[in-house]
Amino acid sequence: MKTWVQLLGIVYLGATVLGGCKVVERLKKAGEVAQQAASSAAEGGLSSEEAKDNELGEKLGHYIECLNGFSRDAFRARNQYFREIDKDKGPTGKESSIYLPALTYTPERCSKAIETAKTAKPALPDVEAAAVEYKKALDNLTPLVKTLHDYYDRKDFKDDDFAKGKTQHAALVAAFDAFEKANKPLDDKVTVLNEQVGQRQLERLKDRPERRMQYLIEKAVDDAKKVVKLVDIDSIAELDATAYNAALDTYEKSYTEMETYATTNKAEADKVTMFSIYKSSSESFLKSAKELMRRKRDNQDFTKERGMPEHTEGHPAKLIKNFNEVIDRSNGLTYRSR
């Protein structure tokens, strides 16, 4: 686990659109699921495979909500805390302040999503079992982070000479470790199933000219994901330049094709709500991906860079941050028929 890596979220393609640790994003509204299902039905009805994927996509969407919401918050808090505090030693008492981010995503919302998914079809015993362990880890981590966030945020360490921070450090570390351990199997299983649905979705969209815009957007997101999968590295020397450059070239072609199509088919692009914001985030991702390529080309490592990794040009963390924004924006798109 790279301490700078944040949770990559999954694209939630849901119903007819499907849209660590690393971070990839995954969330769409139930209303769009119904809207697109109705649209497909009006065009001649859903195929058996598409209907099954819709059902599976809806179920996965509940787990995705947790993975994109609570998990990202939890890993952000953990990464920030360990940037400032040695994991083995804990607070020294000499710190002027310590920052432990709050968990902004409501845990109860995640718990409700897991309960809803449990009874939804189809039955996924392995995923459901992993979700049970995930919830246990979530319930254990949440109060510890809240307690210590408040403690450091209110600077209560000035009143007890860091006593509480020191005594609670081990419990916090154990809770973070347990959450990471519980998160991985759920994340892995959901990601595999979601990507399978996504690939089938792309194949269906590819041959439907009336949904060309949607296909190009989802193809670009899929190709961006392939770029990000190559940056789980500790140093620039570990980056496979040949594989990375090939993936980057593929993504740039997909992005350019989408951009060109949107320009020459403005009326169709205008039916995609929030497309301009999504396009802007995609452009930022492309730029950060190119900066990482240049860093590799020029053999400029990032391990000794100062400042926040997420804001450092050519750093994998910045690429991941921008990718997460692409996923956030793609998950917010809706495709209007008129």
Q: Domain limits of the chain?
A: 1-203, 208-338
Q: What is the mean pLDDT of the chain?
A: 86
Q: Which of 19-23, 121-125, 185-189 has the lowest mean pLDDT?
A: 19-23
In this predicted structure, the answer to whether residue 241 has a pLDDT above a threshold of 50 is yes
Cβ–Cβ under 8 Å, residues 5 and 317: yes
Out of 69-73, 118-122, 137-141, which region has the weakest mean confidence (pLDDT)?
69-73
Phi-psi region of 161 (alpha: psi -120 to 50; beta: other; left: phi over 0): left
Q: What is the pLDDT of residue 335?
A: 87
Give the pLDDT confidence score for residue 134 in this predicted structure. 97
Q: How many C-beta atoms surround the C-beta of residue 239 within 10 A? A: 19
pLDDT in tens, 285-310: 999 999 999 999 999 999 888 778 88
Cβ burial 19-43 (10 Å sphere, 16+ → b, else e): bbbbbbbbbbeeebbebbbebbeee
Angle between helices 72-84 and 125-153 (to 10 degrees): 40
Q: What is the average pLDDT across 169-191?
A: 96
Cross-strand pairs, 24: 9
**Is a pLDDT exceeding 50 seen at residue 27?**
no
Beta bridge partners of 335: 272
Confidence bin at 41 (pLDDT 50/70/90): very low
Of the listed ranges 13-17, 43-47, 225-229, 243-247, the one predicted with least confidence: 13-17
Under CATH, which number does the domain 208-338 receive? 1.20.120
| Residue 46 pLDDT | 63
Residue 13 is predicted with a pLDDT of 39
Least confident range from 5-9, 20-24, 58-62, 79-83: namely 20-24
Q: What is the mean pLDDT of residues 241-256?
A: 98
3-state secondary structure of 29: coil
Amino acid sitting at position 324: N
SS3 call for 8: strand
| pLDDT, tens digit (0-9, with 9 covering 90-100), for 72-109 | 899 989 989 998 999 999 999 999 999 999 998 889 99
What pLDDT score was predicted for residue 29? Answer: 34
| pLDDT confidence tier of residue 49, bands split at 50, 70 and 90 | confident
Mean pLDDT of 125-129: 97
The whole-number average pLDDT for the span 32-41 is 41
